Amino acid sequence: MFWVVTPILPCATACANGQITRLNPLPHTRDVHIISRPPALQALHGCPNMTTGLHRTARRTHSFTESVIREMTRVAREHEAVNLAQGFPDFPAPELLKEAAAAAIRADINQYAITWGAPNLRHALARKYLEHYGMEVDTETEITITCGGTEAMASVMLAVVDPGDEVIVMEPFYENYGPDAVLCEAKPVFLTLEAPEYRLEKAMLEEAVSSKTRAIVINTPNNPTGRVFDREEMQAIADVCIKHDILAITDEIYEHIYYEGEHLPLATFEGMRDRTITISGLSKTFSVTGWRIGTIIAPPQLSGAIRKVHDFLTVGAPAPLQEACAVGLNELPQEYYTDMVAGYKARGEVLVKGLQDAGFKCQYPQGAYYVLADFSDLSDEDSMTFGRRLASEGGVAPVPGGSFFSDPSRGHSLARFVFCKQIQTLHEASERLKAFATRG
């Protein structure tokens, strides 16, 4: 779901200030100039009936298009390319979880769970937060289980962000944050972190804050940069949130997948427990992206509102799969987590070497399972053209870097590759990358 709009005069209320970009909350086709969009949106954009008549569509949808990630998945299929675009593992989920899911279905746990989550899963989660992070969480008032981290983020924003509020989103970003803010008729304010360090500077964060700022979205370990924010960066976020009375919404879906540093939940920083909404889920930790189990930890009053939104959106997450995730959290030993990280590290090394041997500039990520690589030594095409050509001619599908920025030109020479794939898949991709680079 990639979209980017730049307001044009005289209707523009937004401004581009250095690396901080404020977007119109409800971009109207007359008011905005779309500077880059995939064909699907171009077709829609040219349709005269989009804003009038029986089949007019809501304005809030007009700046959205199909996910570039899923589009690249389709291109990969069309050209039989190795799909290194979409972040789903191509190896099995833990046997324990699969058995637990089957057992739950056989035990007739097949009806609605409690809307904010099955008790077993809420208790397992509370125990995990206490054991891993020393964080005490009330199972009755502070936990909401959702249909994946995706629904968690949408429910949270709809519950705490009002029309006209500003939400700070760091870029390169995971593709949902901006559209989630737009769904709330809020204004995403993009703060660009500079390659190759993608370091968060407190002064820049301060600059992005205005009297309308309601929340900051923080994703660490990060997709797509692979950054794991260190203590200094996390403290800077905490300081700014406290100083300006802002909420932090964290996306910690890769909390157990990091190779350097440590995962530091923002909610554990002094003064932050009460102003942090912690989002995570089991999609990545248990390699079950299709199960759609997400988690939210929030103070009781905020949880109350989040639960209402979640109830009206989805009623609840799949009941038997919640039971299975509870079993996974309770019974998988520490070695499971250690082995998972070791496995990803080995995979990442194959991919990084393959990319570097083919002439890409990239470094090993600190966390998550993505490599954001610079292809400027191979081509001066824009990222979309290069990404499509790499898929169709080179047989490896990445995600074009432009799709991680509010202004795609900032990701002009970047492509993102995933490595949550079997080692032999990554070796095959490396061979293809080398052949593609040699052919030119």
Ligand X SMILES: Cc1ncc(COP(=O)(O)O)c(C=O)c1O
Task: Closer to ligand X by CB, 256 or 432: give it.
Answer: 256
Least Å distance, CB 174 to ligand X, is: 4
Binding residue (CB under 6 A) for ligand X from 120, 192, 213, 223:
223
Least Å distance, CB 315 to ligand X, is: 17
Neighbours of 70 (CB within 10 A): 13
Q: What is the 3-state secondary structure (H, E, C) of 191-231?
A: EECCCCCCCCCHHHHHHHCCCCEEEEEEECCCCCCCCCCCH
- Mark the segment that binds ligand X (CB under 6 A) among 127-135, 142-150, 202-210, 226-234: 142-150
Task: Closer to ligand X by CB, 62 or 347: give it.
Answer: 347
Bridge-based pairing state of the strands 247-251 and 213-219: parallel
Among 200, 276, 212, which residue's Cα sits nearest to residue 241?
276
Least Å distance, CB 154 to ligand X, is: 10
Task: Closer to ligand X by CB, 120 or 250: give it.
Answer: 250
**In terms of C-beta density within 10 A (0-12 exposed, 13-18 middle, 19 or more buried), how is residue 337 classed?**
middle
Binding residue (CB under 6 A) for ligand X from 155, 213, 283, 430:
283
Give the whole-angstrom CA distance, residue 385 versus residue 370: 20
CA distances, 373 to each of 117, 167, 249, 356 (Å)? 39, 28, 27, 9
Q: Between 392 and 431, how does the x/- string for binding to ligand X read (CB under 6 A)?
A: ----------------------------------------
Bridge-based pairing state of the strands 143-146 and 294-297: antiparallel
Task: Closer to ligand X by CB, 83 or 219: give it.
Answer: 219
Are 245 and 226 in contact by the 8 Å Cβ rule? The answer is: no
- Mark the segment that binds ligand X (CB under 6 A) among 122-130, 145-153, 156-164, 339-347: 145-153
Q: Which residues contact 205 (CB under 8 A, 6 or more apart)?
A: 168, 191, 216, 236, 237, 240
Query: How many Cα atoms are found within 13 Å in the side-chain-facing hemisphere of 185?
Result: 6
Residue 289 sits in the site that holds ligand X (CB under 6 A): yes
- Mark the segment that binds ligand X (CB under 6 A) among 2-10, 77-85, 146-154, 201-209: 146-154
Residue 328 sits in the site that holds ligand X (CB under 6 A): no
Binding residue (CB under 6 A) for ligand X from 2, 174, 258, 436:
174
SS3 of residue 295 by DSSP:
strand
Closest residue by beta carbon to ligand X:
148
Task: Closer to ligand X by CB, 168 or 378: give it.
Answer: 168
Binding residue (CB under 6 A) for ligand X from 27, 89, 148, 188:
148
Residue 366 sits in the site that holds ligand X (CB under 6 A): no
Are 420 and 87 in contact by the 8 Å Cβ rule? The answer is: yes
Least Å distance, CB 223 to ligand X, is: 4
Q: Between 245 and 274, how does the x/- string for binding to ligand X read (CB under 6 A)?
A: ------x-x---------------------
Least Å distance, CB 351 to ligand X, is: 17
The residue type at 359: G
Size of the site for ligand X (CB under 6 A): 13
Q: Which residues contact 378 (CB under 8 A, 6 or more apart)?
A: 358, 359, 360, 386, 437
Least Å distance, CB 139 to ligand X, is: 21
Binding residue (CB under 6 A) for ligand X from 150, 213, 366, 413:
150
- Mark the segment that binds ligand X (CB under 6 A) among 5-13, 147-155, 300-308, 346-354: 147-155
The residue type at 144: T
Residue 149 sits in the site that holds ligand X (CB under 6 A): yes
Q: Between 63 and 102, how does the x/- string for binding to ligand X read (CB under 6 A)?
A: ------------------------x---------------
Task: Closer to ligand X by CB, 281 or 354: give it.
Answer: 281
Q: Which residues contact 113 (CB under 8 A, 6 or more apart)?
A: 145, 316, 317, 319, 322
Residue 221 sits in the site that holds ligand X (CB under 6 A): no
Least Å distance, CB 336 to ligand X, is: 19
Strand ranges, E, within 110-150: 143-146
Least Å distance, CB 50 to ligand X, is: 28
Residues in the chain, total: 440
Give the whole-angstrom CA distance, residue 378 versus residue 374: 9
SS3 of residue 414 by DSSP:
strand
Residue 294 sits in the site that holds ligand X (CB under 6 A): yes
Are 402 and 173 in contact by the 8 Å Cβ rule? The answer is: no
Binding site for ligand X (CB under 6 A): 87, 148-150, 174, 219, 223, 251, 253, 281, 283, 289, 294
